[in-house]
């Protein structure tokens, strides 16, 4: 059930007027008169442009990998919205592609402690973005339900949600899946160590045309992501560009 308080925003570039408008939008959302089934198909009434842009970015990424084989993988899933959107984009663009696996990694207990390569601040405090206990089980159920709504039906093996410290779980994942190819890797962790370890592991499984998205490459509050990228990619051939929808996200295409 929705609560009656406006959630504290851990990351925001909004001014006070915008924040007040967001609070009003939340109030309108919680007090709307739409039937529940109508609300589920009418969420565009309440989505802000700054949130809608994320959908556009994911759609752009998906269209870029349609001719590239391999798994879609996300590091830092939080609530798992991107995983759900990737599943539904798969169902739209390649509904019968049962080989396009979608994998999400997250601690589900919030940020771990950073190191000297990371900036101390409000966003990356230990435990920020901690989710409810066993949230990953709810996310798995939600993913499976979306699959059942789509063409592939009960093919639950098309998704995997992995809980734990990415610095450890990503190595274990690829040890168990040595033949894995990665078409798209979405990075939204911000911290140096897990980003570097995951980049190193992912690169071993990419092909020409594989895409890596870095969510915080040029954000001064997350220097660890840029440092990890520079170290791992110093001898890698790639092209890099900012997303046409938002300069906050950087898209890397492997050559």
Each residue of 137-165: pLDDT tens digit? 999 999 999 999 998 777 778 899 999 99
pLDDT tops 80 at residue 245: yes
Strand order in the sheet with 238-242: 159-163, 102-106, 71-75, 182-187, 206-214, 250-254, 238-242
Distance of CA 129 to the CA centre of its chain: 13
Please tell me the pTM assigned to this model. Answer: 0.91
Per cent of the chain over pLDDT 70 is 95
The pLDDT of residue 14: 72
Better-predicted residue by pLDDT, 76 or 156: 76
Q: How confident is the model at residue 11 (pLDDT cuts 50, 70, 90)?
A: low
pLDDT tops 70 at residue 2: no
How does pLDDT run across 33-57, given as a tens digit for each residue?
999 999 999 989 999 988 899 999 9
pLDDT tops 70 at residue 202: yes
Per cent of the chain over pLDDT 90 is 75
pLDDT tops 90 at residue 84: yes
Query: Residue 183 gets which letter from DSSP?
Result: E
pLDDT tops 80 at residue 4: no
Give Cβ neighbours of residue 147 (< 8 Å, ≥ 6 apart).
Answer: 87, 153, 154, 155, 156, 158, 159
What average pLDDT is seen over the chain? 91
What sign for the dihedral angle of Cα 188, 189, 191, 192? negative
Choose the weakest-confidence range: 58-67, 114-123, 175-184, 220-229.
Answer: 114-123
pLDDT tops 60 at residue 6: no
Query: Residue 220 gets which letter from DSSP?
Result: T
The pLDDT of residue 12: 63
């Amino acid at each position: 059930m929705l609560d009656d308080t406006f959630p504290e925003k851990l990351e925001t570039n909004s001014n006070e007027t915008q924040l007040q408008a967001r609070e009003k939008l939340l109030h309108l959302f919680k007090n709307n008169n739409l039937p529940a089934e109508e609300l589920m198909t009418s969420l565009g009434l309440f989505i802000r442009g700054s949130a809608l842009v994320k959908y556009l970015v994911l759609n752009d990424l998906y269209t870029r990998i349609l001719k590239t084989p391999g798994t879609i993988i996300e590091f830092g899933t939080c609530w798992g919205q991107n995983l759900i959107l990737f599943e539904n984009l798969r169902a739209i663009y390649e509904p019968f592609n049962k080989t396009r696996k979608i994998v999400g990694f997250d601690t589900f207990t919030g940020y771990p402690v950073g190191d000297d390569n990371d900036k101390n601040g409000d966003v990356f405090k230990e435990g920020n973005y901690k989710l409810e206990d066993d949230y990953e089980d709810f996310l798995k159920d939600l993913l499976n339900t979306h699959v059942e709504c789509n063409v592939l039906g009960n093919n639950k093996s098309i998704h995997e949600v992995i809980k734990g410290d990415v610095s450890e779980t990503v190595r274990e994942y690829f040890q168990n899946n040595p033949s894995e190819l990665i078409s798209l890797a979405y990075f939204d962790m911000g911290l140096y160590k897990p980003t570097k370890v995951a980049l190193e592991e992912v690169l071993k499984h990419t092909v020409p045309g594989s895409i890596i998205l870095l969510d915080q490459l040029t954000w001064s509050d997350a220097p660890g992501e840029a440092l990890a990228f520079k170290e791992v990619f110093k001898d890698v051939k790639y092209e890099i560009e900012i997303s046409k929808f938002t300069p906050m996200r950087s898209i890397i295409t492997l050559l």
